[in-house]
């Protein structure tokens, strides 16, 4: 499986991908899923892939070699939108060539991609491309995309990332998002590829391959866990069955009449209650025991 996240910010772009692939519990491999198309001074573009590895590698190779009508290619596209269309066309080409054969073997045509970067003359742009070759673009209302095992790392992104987030803060948030995914899903694994691009540089600003020995990532993992635990322990426990004015953390107040939905006990299991007072019942038992 895979987890990749790409962010489009006012200051630039951040990309992070893992490198684990698996076709079963005993077929685990390491394959890098981030590809850079860079012509320094003119363009810098990044493609991250999830899904069937053979499909994504075929698409990547086709993108790098393809030259369309009028000499258009990933290297000569005049806008990121045009470059995204070239990527989408490559997805459709591979689908037309391989989808039917894969289906005969019970394999779905499964691929998704994050594609972003900057071409000289326009702003940074970020796209998510689907198996049909269609795509959507990131805007300020949705400034990041995820592919693969997205659910574990999404909450921290939703709480922290905005267009104004600085690049280093966004990189830190992406790594925390990845750490949450690594802890919760064994199909995502190290090493990681982290790329940071600053607007108008037209070349990679920072890049790091992160393994289990990386100093910063280990510090982040340890401190994030400790900070989460500290914040959790600092939140007051709930107060039950109290008036709201007693405390700020009343969970159920005395004027709330909520009750659970109870299922009736079957009549065959209902035990009739005796009406004999406890002391009288005890006296009767002692009298019965004293009879010869």
pLDDT > 90: what percent of the chain?
77
Q: Is the pLDDT assigned to residue 26 strictly greater than 80?
A: no
Q: Is the pLDDT assigned to residue 25 strictly greater than 90?
A: no
pLDDT digits (tens, 9 = 90+) for 131-143: 999 999 999 999 9
Gap between the Cα atoms of 270 and 247, Å rounded: 41
pLDDT at 243: 81
227 lies in a domain?
Answer: no
CATH code for the domain of 66: 3.60.20.10
275 lies in a domain?
Answer: no
State the residue for tokens 């630039």: 12
Strands 250-253 and 239-242: parallel
Q: Who's near 251: CB < 8 A, 6+ residues apart?
A: 238, 239, 240
The residue segments making up the domain with residue 181 are: 3-212
Lowest mean pLDDT among 188-192, 200-204, 256-260: 256-260
Measured N-to-C along each axis, helices 167-184 and 215-234 cross at an angle, to the nearest 10 degrees, of: 80
122 lies in a domain?
Answer: yes
48 lies in a domain?
Answer: yes
Q: Is the pLDDT assigned to residue 290 strictly greater than 60?
A: no
pLDDT digits (tens, 9 = 90+) for 88-98: 999 999 999 99
pTM of this structure: 0.87
* pLDDT band (50, 70, 90) for residue 68: confident
pLDDT at 134: 98
100 lies in a domain?
Answer: yes
Q: Is the pLDDT assigned to residue 274 strictly greater than 60?
A: no
pLDDT at 71: 87
Q: What is the domain count for the chain?
A: 1
Lowest mean pLDDT among 96-100, 224-228, 276-280: 276-280
Q: Is the pLDDT assigned to residue 285 strictly greater than 70?
A: no
pLDDT at 253: 80
> Which 3 state secondary structure label does DSSP give 132?
coil
pLDDT digits (tens, 9 = 90+) for 157-179: 999 999 999 999 999 999 999 99
């Amino acid at each position: 499986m895979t987890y990749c996240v790409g962010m489009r910010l006012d200051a630039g772009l951040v990309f992070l991908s893992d490198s684990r692939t698996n076709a079963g519990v005993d077929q685990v491999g390491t394959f890098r899923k981030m590809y850079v198309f860079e012509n320094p001074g003119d363009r810098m573009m990044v493609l991250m892939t999830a899904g069937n590895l053979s499909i994504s590698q075929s698409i990547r190779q086709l993108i790098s070699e393809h030259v369309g009508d009028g000499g258009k290619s990933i290297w000569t596209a005049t806008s990121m939108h045009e470059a995204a269309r070239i990527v989408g066309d490559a997805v459709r080409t591979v689908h037309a060539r391989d989808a039917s054969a894969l289906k005969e073997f019970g394999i779905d045509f499964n691929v998704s991609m994050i594609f972003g970067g900057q071409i000289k003359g326009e702003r940074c742009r970020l796209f998510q491309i689907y198996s049909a070759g269609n795509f959507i673009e990131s805007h300020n209302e949705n400034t990041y995309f995820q592919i693969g095992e997205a659910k574990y790392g999404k909450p921290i992104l939703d709480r922290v990332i905005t267009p104004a987030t600085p690049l280093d803060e966004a990189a830190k948030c992406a790594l925390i998002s990845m750490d949450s995914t690594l802890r919760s899903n064994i199909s995502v694994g190290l090493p990681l590829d982290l790329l940071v691009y600053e607007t108008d540089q037209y070349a990679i600003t920072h890049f790091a391959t992160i393994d289990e020995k990386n100093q910063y990532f280990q510090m982040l993992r340890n401190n994030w866990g400790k900070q989460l635990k500290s914040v959790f322990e600092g939140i007051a426990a709930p107060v039950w069955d109290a008036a709201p004015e007693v405390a700020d953390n009343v969970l159920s107040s005395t004027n709330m009449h909520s009750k659970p939905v109870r299922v009736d006990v079957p009549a065959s299991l209902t035990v009739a209650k005796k009406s004999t007072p406890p002391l009288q019942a005890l006296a009767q038992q002692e009298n019965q025991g004293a009879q010869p």
